[in-house]
Amino acid sequence: MQNTLMDRALYAVRFTADQLGVTQRIPASWRSVLDRSVQQRIASGAAWSLVGAGFQSGFTMVSNIACARLLNSVDYGQLGIVLSTINLCTALFTSGLSMTATRYVAEYRDAAPRRAGTIIGLSTATSLAVGALIAMIVCLLAPWLSRDVLHGRGVERALTLGAVSMLFAAINGSQMGALSGFEAFRSLAIGNFARGVSVLVFVTMGAAFWGLNGALVGYIIVSALTALFYQIMVRRRAFAKGVPISYCFSRQDFRVLWRFTIPVLLTTSVFTPAAWWSNVLLVRRSGYAESGIFSAVYTWQTLILFFPLAVSSIGLPMLSNLRTEGNMAKYKKLLGIMFLLIPAPAIIAAVPVALCSPWIMNLYGASFHHGAPALTLISIAAVLSACNIPVGHALWSLNATIPAILLALLNGGTLIIAAHALATKGAAGLASAYVIMTVFQSIASALFMTWLLRKKLPNASASPEFALA
């Protein structure tokens, strides 16, 4: 049964790639460099990632539309800003742990299984401790955030509920990072499917019966169930690979946090607060109704990016694994394939979304209708974002921390400046700020990757801890 499902998923991905002309666009010389096992890993990982991300995005989108109609634009705007605040705190303090687990489990799972098991234990324990600490801080600061920052009555209790879900979300991050490092994309796909169904059921029911706070209770239930499922999957995969999970850490283990996790956190701490503050600016200058419209619009960026992100999820673990093998020819070819595979489906998804934007926004209700221009603009930003996804995988697989931080600074600074100038124009103004940011990001990334491929990458295999200054 499982083999039949995999065969169908792989066939669907290959058929889609053929129809999009992606296969023909990959040079034959590139395909010949990658042996059959690597090609199979790409196809298998992309297939399962596509299935899981597709179902989760679809179910979440249906739930978002239902919640928007049940809550009205103001309450939906409050839900959006609360989730944005919680996502800010989660990403700000725990995103580095997810990427640490992915990168080092992929690197050590074959060469040093005990080391990989220690990394899993370290990322899990740290995410639990940090998640609990940040959840407590958010609960304590909820009255001040509600009164002086978000300017929303009734948001205090919603922030407290969101903080509880943040604890589980932090744990989810490290668990998904470990599974990605094992290239356990089937388990991730099943988890994404289950999460999508849970969001549709629990969040929508919560919004229908108890409004804003009910929707957030639904998110708590979803996050807790997801954490339980992923913990079971991580232990099963580790046992199957002969990786003993350990919670006994040495000083050398904590150096991983210093060398890799903290630099990732620095890049996140540069851009993620900028994205959150741009939402706060929208609330302050245009009101919660416009924030609700932008929240609805922004979910469509997630839908446009679901296939690119699904395919790209195989990028960091495979690039890290190939780098460990020391075969930079395979590394460069795989990176090139990622640049070809990822943007094309984003373009194909963005065009109909932009063309049908008036009809799409009508699904949310009459008060959302004038958000069509914002949806068109965010579709453009999504395509440009997709073009930049492989850049991040290249940076972190090569420990290129300084360029990653500089690019994050550019993104965050551009977004804040543009949002300050355009937030008074409502959701369309903030969507325009995202377009401006992604244009600058694309120009800088293109220049950097050209330099990296021509000057630095051929020598990257010389050092196991290659880093760009």
- Helix H or strand E encompassing 233: helix 204-241
Residue 271 identity (one-letter amino acid): F
At 414 the pLDDT is 95
- Does residue 423 or residue 19 have the better pLDDT? 423
At 424 the pLDDT is 93
State the Cα–Cα distance between residues 218 and 204, nearest whole angstrom: 8
The number of residues in the chain equals 469
Least confident of 14-23, 174-183, 320-329, 442-451: 14-23
Alpha helices, DSSP H, located in 242-327:
251-256, 262-286, 288-304, 306-312, 315-325
**How buried is residue 428: exposed, middle or buried, by Cβ count under 10 Å (0-12/13-18/19+)?**
buried
At 226 the pLDDT is 93
Q: Beta-carbon neighbour count of residue 433 at 10 Å?
A: 26
Q: Calculate what percentage of the chain has a pLDDT beyond 70.
A: 81
At 438 the pLDDT is 95
Q: Calculate what percentage of the chain has a pLDDT beyond 90.
A: 29
- Mean pLDDT over residues 259-266, rounded? 71
Q: Are 71 and 215 in contact (CB under 8 A)?
A: yes
292's CB contacts (< 8 A; 6+ apart) are 68, 72, 73, 74, 75, 76, 77, 78, 79, 80, 368
At 458 the pLDDT is 52
DSSP letters, 129-162, are HHHHHHHHHHHHHHHHIIIIIS--TTHHHHHHHH
- Does residue 436 or residue 185 have the better pLDDT? 436
The tokens describing 362, both together, are 């009508």
State the Cα–Cα distance between residues 337 and 265, nearest whole angstrom: 28
Q: Assess whether pLDDT exceeds 70 at residue 433.
A: yes
Per-residue pLDDT reduced to its tens digit, 309-368: 777 766 677 777 777 666 677 777 777 778 877 888 899 999 999 999 999 999 888 888
At 188 the pLDDT is 87
Mean pLDDT over all residues of the chain?
81
Q: Assess whether pLDDT exceeds 70 at residue 5.
A: no
At 460 the pLDDT is 47
At 259 the pLDDT is 73
Q: Beta-carbon neighbour count of residue 176 at 10 Å?
A: 23
Q: How confident is the model at residue 30 (pLDDT cuts 50, 70, 90)?
A: very low
The tokens describing 36, both together, are 């059959």
Q: Assess whether pLDDT exceeds 90 at residue 26.
A: no
State the Cα–Cα distance between residues 88 and 274, nearest whole angstrom: 9
Q: Are 75 and 216 in contact (CB under 8 A)?
A: no
- Looking at residue 426, the DSSP 8-state letter turns out to be T
Q: How confident is the model at residue 393 (pLDDT cuts 50, 70, 90)?
A: confident
90's CB contacts (< 8 A; 6+ apart) are 131, 134, 166, 169, 170, 173
pTM of the shown model = 0.68
Q: Assess whether pLDDT exceeds 70 at residue 12.
A: no
